[in-house]
Structure 1
């Protein structure tokens, strides 16, 4: 029998300029008295956590700050944050201020300060034990300062496992934040390189959830078997389509910084709204091949250092890693749902011509060129000799590959990755 039911869940949402200054009011309403604020050094230097801490303290809450969240978290960095929280606790709530890295760090903390065991007990199989939480996690407020990750809406905590050189995560409905506070003034100051990489994450969230396997094409499940990523469905589709439409008008302008005053503010607001919409879509429908490929691309980086990110160590930012195989991935999935791929292409570029599998990849390649995304895997340091290792890493992401609109073999992934060494 095929599945007849899809599920939808989302955090409470507060959106708008100045929303971050109201967080103290919201958290006090939960009965909290002592709060852990999680951020990273770069965001702390920008002053955004101070705004949130001031609001919390202004409503009578005690605030302890952890400002050592790592950009692109690792198992080691998450364990450090958890150890800090256990030593400084107890806490009644966690507030994350930052990009997906800070929010994912806070998710790990919220889980492990109330549940037994260690980090790897909860990491997705086959890397970890995929243990389910036994106790309620601490309530979490997620305040994104980048437009892209969608972590403020999702049930996922992503990390690099250093010893295995693989990117994986924890996935459970309990990790979804209780409240997402999206204040566009926090993300309006992102450097252009961050806007480009994080924006490609928004784009791929929307595209992958829109082209994911239809929920009714999965085998029927009992309630306890259903997972947050349930496949494309009518509600998630609405969010994805709206995100794509906003990106069509705002993305290039937000990266190029060729707007001023009210127009620049509007572009920043549209990017924040697109990120929110895409998060509400993929946080339920799921993502697939580009994200599965992105985990080993980011986890096995050698010496690539992107513009506008910390240069103290090599990294491929998550959104950039996702985008690097996206054109070829969507060429591969085209025949599973041609009409969806073509509609997505024309939402992004109404002038796109043609009706074949090359339309969406061409739209993506033009956009990537325009906003300065590297021309494929070769530009971030990978070559033909790396294909097998990247395939091995992607194959470990079966939770994501199961959401693809057609079955994906190792040979299929090798073809996608090999063809993604360069795009133009």
Structure 2
């Protein structure tokens, strides 16, 4: 009944909106979308976009046939040095060799990429006449390959042309890109489903990115056998990204409250706000996380758990790839970008690093305590899915209960005790706040408006978790 009431409410909202569009008017004519946005400040529609997904144990062996079917003449394969000698990359290259596909391999992708590492990959892609791109790795590899494809397809573009405003110019992508096939080897980012590429912008010590549906892979090959090679902490941090993707997209500002209403559908952002379709994907992913994540972290050989988390990553990716994320991700970018000496366990990397999923989840208890008052039913539902008894909880306590549930979840998985465990202290908070402010693409989707003072309090509250 609750679902039916929500659908009815949405339909009434749409019917009452002063829009002359073909979805609910017989007076539609050329320019109607532009007219609709002259009489309302918020959007009235949302779009669902996702890559094609192929899932199955050992399905990587098919990629060579896919490339032959596409008529590929010269393929760019991208990965990182840690993966270059492991079975996932070997499986891809064996399939290409068996099907006589010509390719060059770039294995210098940086884990947690930067503007400079993006530019190095772009330079490689621009030197050759590639007609298809293949990314084999986690989100860092897939995002780097998206950027290489974009700028190789736009050889005259300046790097900042497509980077999200206000750091970049945020120009729309109007030219065609080459096909990209993504083979994810972690269960976290969901990058195989989205049109988003994230990187550290070193001049500001903060993450930003490029967000456009044109970046989406044409195919994501999701082979759960690849996740068996993830070390325990990599599995944990990847899973935290799935957790926050689901929570943030489900609690994001509703799409009908997002402004401005785009005068042209080309200008409708990839991150549109929560909507009835993304809600389904987010909740399903959250249920899988609740059931399987601890098993997947504690036992690398648990094929059922690791396979399930691989699917949860896809489901959450479809959800947040259309609804968006908000404060946890917006605040995570300076946490990763301002890293000093912290080196994550079980990451074979020669530079300080805060893995993306860890940087996101450390603020989650504080964030959802803060946003709970805006959509308490959703916060309570999330807490219940994650194992909390919400039968006698008041709506006013929704944020607190979800925060406590998250703290317990993180404690069970031996997560570092807040930002202080990563080397941050209160003196770093102004820089962390400053690095969050440019992340309007995501922070504006927070269901609760916030100020710099609010961000300061959230970072302060995240210094210690337990």
TM-score range, shorter chain: over 0.9
Question: If you compute each CA radius of gyration, which structure gives the higher value, 1 or 2?
Answer: 2
Q: Matches of 1:106 and 1:338 in 2, distance apart?
A: 39
SS in structure 1 at match of 2:248: helix
1:349 partnered with 2:387: yes
Extract unaligned runs of 5+ from structure 1. Answer: none
1:232 aligns with 2:271: no
Contact kept, 8 Å, 2:139 with 2:191, in 1: the verdict is: yes
Q: CA deviation at 1:188?
A: 1.7
- Distance in 1 separating the partners of 2:52 and 2:101: 21
Structure 1 stretch displaced more, 266-275 or 113-122:
113-122
Q: Deviations over 1:323-381 (max 9, x none)?
A: 11111001111011000000011111154563412111111111111112211111001
1:407 equivalent among 430, 449, 452 = 449
Alignment root-mean-square deviation, CA: 1.4
1:256: how far off?
1.3
**Paired residue for 1:397?**
439
- The residue that corresponds to 2:350 in the other structure is 312
Q: Which residue of 1 aligns with 2:34?
A: none
Q: How far, CA to CA, are the matches of 1:346 and 1:52 in structure 2?
A: 41
Q: Hey, what does 2:140 align to over in structure 1?
A: 101
For 2:389 and 2:134, the matched residues in 1 are separated by: 43
**Distance apart, 1:311 and its partner CA:** 4.2
**TM-superposed deviation, 1:189:** 1.8
Contact 1:352-1:363 at 8 Å conserved across structures: no
Residue pair 2:172, 2:266 contacting (<8 A) in 1 also: no
**1:58 matched to which residue of 2?**
98
**1:135 Cα deviation from its structure 2 partner:** 1.9
Partner of residue 160, structure 1? 200
Query: Is 1:9 paired with 2:49?
Result: yes
* Conserved? CA contact 1:197–1:373, under 8 Å: no
- How does the TM-score come out when normalised to structure 1? 0.96
Deviation at 1:103, TM superposition (A): 0.4
For 1:279 and 1:240, locate their aligned partners in 2 and report how far apart those are by CA, in whole Å.
8
Q: Counterparts in 2 of 1:326-405, with a 5 A limit?
A: 326-351=364-389, 354-355=393-394, 356=397, 357-405=399-447
Kindly indicate whether the alpha-carbon contact (under 8 Å) linking 1:328 and 1:416 is maintained by their aligned counterparts in 2: yes
Which residue of structure 2 lines up, in the alignment, with residue 221 of structure 1?
262
Moved more, 341-350 or 318-327: 341-350
Distance 1:271 1:82 in 2: 31
Q: Is contact 2:114-2:199 (8 Å) kept? A: yes
Q: Residue 169 of structure 1: SS of its match in structure 2?
A: strand
1:284 aligns with 2:322: yes
Q: Distance in 1 between matches of 2:189 and 2:386?
A: 19
Number of aligned positions between the proteins: 419
